[in-house]
Amino acid sequence: EDQVTQSPEALRLQEGESSSLNCSYTVSGLRGLFWYRQDPGKGPEFLFTLYSAGEEKEKERLKATLTKKESFLHITAPKPEDSATYLCAVQGPGYSTLTFGKGTMLLVSP
């Protein structure tokens, strides 16, 4: 059974204070690891897909990295508008569906 564990559950940062969110996973044959952002009362919004260890993707202040056991979402010099819940999900072999972690709630204070 695929498993995804995200840490921390919640993170409070000051504006400009860089940090990282962690996503640890167990899956037999990773086909893809996905990061989503979810604002309160909204549906999740896709950010990145990572396919193999060593891969990195960047978008504005966010950078996602992948190893064989975990992924990190690095947030550089965050702004209040980066406040959201960040979800990680994995896809195993075949036509399997995504398994989501419980998310990390990020709050960035001005």
Partner 1 sequence: DADVTQTPRNRITKTGKRIMLECSQTKGHDRMYWYRQDPGLGLQLIYYSFDVKDINKGEISDGYSVSRQAQAKFSLSLESAIPNQTALYFCATSLGPGELFFGEGSRLTVL
> Closer to partner 1 at the Cβ: 13 or 87?
87
**Residue 97 binds to partner 1 (criterion: CB under 8 A):** yes
Contacting residues for 1 by C-beta, under 8 A, at least 6 apart: none
Phi then psi for residue 80, to 5 deg, are -55, -30
Pairwise CA distance, residues 16 & 79, whole Å: 7
- Site mask for partner 1 (CB under 8 A), range 69-88, x = bound: ------------------x-
Name which of residues 33 to 72 contact partner 1 (CB under 8 A). 34, 36, 41-46, 49
Which residue stretch of 14-22, 28-36, 58-66, 67-75 sits at the interface with partner 1 (rule: CB under 8 A)? 28-36
Structure tokens belonging to residue 18: 């860089």
